Amino acid sequence: MAEQLRLMAVHAHPDDESSKGAATMAKYVAEGVDVLVVTCTGGERGSVLNPKMDRPDVWANIGEIRRAEMDAARAILGIDQAWLGFVDSGLPEGDPLPPLPEGCFALQDVQVAAGPLVRLMRQFRPHVVTTYDEEGGYPHPDHIMTHKVSVAAFEAAGDPERYPELGEPWQPLKLYYDIGFSKGKIMALHEAMLEAGLESPYEDWLKRWEDRPDKGPRITTRVECAEYFPVRDDALRAHATQIDPDGFWFHVPMELQRRAWPTEDFQLARSLVDSPLPESDLFAGVRETCHAR
Is the Cβ–Cβ distance between 72 and 266 less than 8 Å?
no
73 Cβ contact partners less than 8 Å away, ≥ 6 residues apart: 14, 15, 17, 18, 235, 236, 238, 239
Q: CA 171, CA 177: separation in Å to the nearest integer?
A: 17
Torsion, CA 146, CA 117, CA 89, CA 21, rounded to 10: 50
Cis peptide before 96 (omega within 30 of 0): yes
The residues facing 223 across adjacent strands are: 264
143 is in an annotated binding site: yes
Helices (H) and strands (E) in the chain, counts: 11, 7
Cβ–Cβ contacts within 10 Å for residue 289, how many? 16
C-alpha 254/C-alpha 259 separation (Å) is 9
Cis peptide before 278 (omega within 30 of 0): yes
Q: Is 127 labeled as ligand-binding?
A: no
Residue by residue, DSSP assigns 127-153 as SEEEE--TT-SS--HHHHHHHHHHHHH
Q: Residue 215 carries which DSSP code?
A: -
Is-contact 37 11, C-beta < 8 A? yes
How many angstroms separate the CA atoms of 243 and 240, rounded? 5
Is 140 annotated as a binding-site member? no
Closest CA to 13 of 37, 31, 30, 33: 37
Residues making up the binding site for Zn(2+): 13, 16, 143
The annotation places the binding site at: 13, 16, 143
